[in-house]
């Protein structure tokens, strides 16, 4: 992680100068969002596995709250998900061999919440929504399980997001999916090139991380777009400058982490 600090710091300063010179409100807001994110994430990874576990747990709880609003889950469903996403990173740190067993127990537990509440009308939808939420957000534990690859992967996904925005504007190409008509294949190419370049620069370009950035990141973006369209909202939240909510920032990372863990 320490080897990346000069690169991250330099990129942050240079991008800040370019963004403020451009005068574009959207870019300025995103840069301010990064001003909040980078110190928190950097400090967590600097602390090693305990810091990564704490980061994953905190992000999991916030993301679960945003997802619960999108999926119209109840407070009890959110509570079960929040407890799960807090425990998962701790187990990934202290007893990773038990993660699969824990996942089975957790999925059963979140399904039983509406069952025990006797929710005959909306119980099935709540159970499906909670199970999907756990499966979608559980890869945050990859921040712990991937070890030294986690921080470079996070940096690559962040830069890939910028590359995708630039590539979409400059290269354009056909629309990527009806789920997100504004996104173009040119953006996919730009994001993959930028993200893989960061992985190579940080010495973390493995087949697993390259595929995670090139394929996992855009798929994660589309997955959240599908959920937001189903919920009829533009953003998952409003509190993070330039991004909306935390899910709008980590949607690409969630699937990328899952791909990286599956192939590592």
173 and 257 assigned to the same domain: yes
Domain assignment of residue 93, given as a range = 57-145
pLDDT digits 0-9 by tens, 137-182: 999 999 999 999 999 999 899 889 888 888 888 888 898 899 888 8
The two tokens of residue 191 are: 């994001």
Handedness of CA 61, 209, 71, 104 (dihedral sign): negative
Asked whether residue 182 is assigned to any structural domain, the reply reads yes
Q: Point out which residues pair with 175 in neighbouring strands.
A: 184
- Count CA within 13 A, CB hemisphere, residue 62: 20
Q: How confident is the model at residue 48 (pLDDT cuts 50, 70, 90)?
A: very high
pLDDT digits 0-9 by tens, 92-129: 999 999 999 999 999 999 999 999 999 999 999 999 99
Say what the pLDDT of residue 36 is.
Answer: 81
196 and 255 assigned to the same domain: yes
Asked whether residue 188 is assigned to any structural domain, the reply reads yes
91 and 200 assigned to the same domain: no
Which of 123, 145, 167 is at the close of a domain?
145
pLDDT digits 0-9 by tens, 184-234: 999 999 999 999 999 999 999 999 999 999 999 999 999 999 999 999 999
185 and 106 assigned to the same domain: no
Overall domain count for the chain = 2
Residue in 163, 194, 183, 261 with CA at minimum distance from that of residue 223? 183
156 and 253 assigned to the same domain: yes
Which of 89, 113, 145 is at the close of a domain?
145
Mean pLDDT of 72-78: 96
Which of 126, 145, 164 is at the close of a domain?
145
Asked whether residue 202 is assigned to any structural domain, the reply reads yes
pLDDT digits 0-9 by tens, 233-257: 999 988 887 788 999 999 999 999 9
**pLDDT of 3 strictly over 60:** no
Asked whether residue 70 is assigned to any structural domain, the reply reads yes
Higher pLDDT, 31 or 102: 102
202 and 120 assigned to the same domain: no
Q: How confident is the model at residue 5 (pLDDT cuts 50, 70, 90)?
A: low
């Amino acid at each position: 992680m320490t080897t990346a600090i000069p690169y991250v710091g330099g990129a942050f300063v240079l991008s800040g100068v370019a963004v403020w010179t451009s005068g574009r409100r959207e870019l300025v807001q995103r840069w301010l969002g990064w001003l909040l994110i980078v110190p928190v994430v950097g400090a967590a990874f600097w602390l090693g596995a305990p810091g990564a576990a704490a980061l994953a747990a905190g992000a999991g709880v916030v993301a679960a709250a945003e997802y619960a609003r999108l999926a119209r889950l109840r407070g009890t469903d959110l509570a079960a998900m929040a407890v799960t996403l807090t425990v998962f990173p701790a187990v990934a740190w202290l007893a990773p061999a038990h993660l699969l067993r824990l996942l089975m127990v957790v999925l059963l537990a979140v399904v039983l919440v509406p069952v025990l509440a006797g929710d005959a009308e909306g119980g099935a939808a709540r159970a499906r929504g909670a199970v999907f939420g756990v499966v979608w957000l559980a890869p945050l534990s990859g921040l712990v399980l991937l070890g030294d690859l986690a921080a470079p992967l996070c940096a690559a996904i962040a830069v890939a997001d910028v590359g995708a925005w630039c590539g979409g504007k400059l290269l354009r190409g056909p629309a990527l999916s009806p789920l997100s008509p504004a996104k173009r294949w040119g953006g996919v190419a730009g994001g993959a090139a930028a993200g893989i370049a960061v992985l190579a620069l940080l010495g973390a370009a493995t087949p697993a991380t390259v595929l995670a950035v090139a394929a996992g990141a855009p798929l994660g973006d589309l997955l959240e777009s599908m959920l937001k369209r189903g919920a009829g909202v533009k953003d998952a939240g409003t509190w993070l400058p330039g991004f909306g909510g935390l899910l709008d920032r980590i949607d690409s990372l969630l699937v990328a982490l899952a791909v990286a863990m599956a192939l590592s």
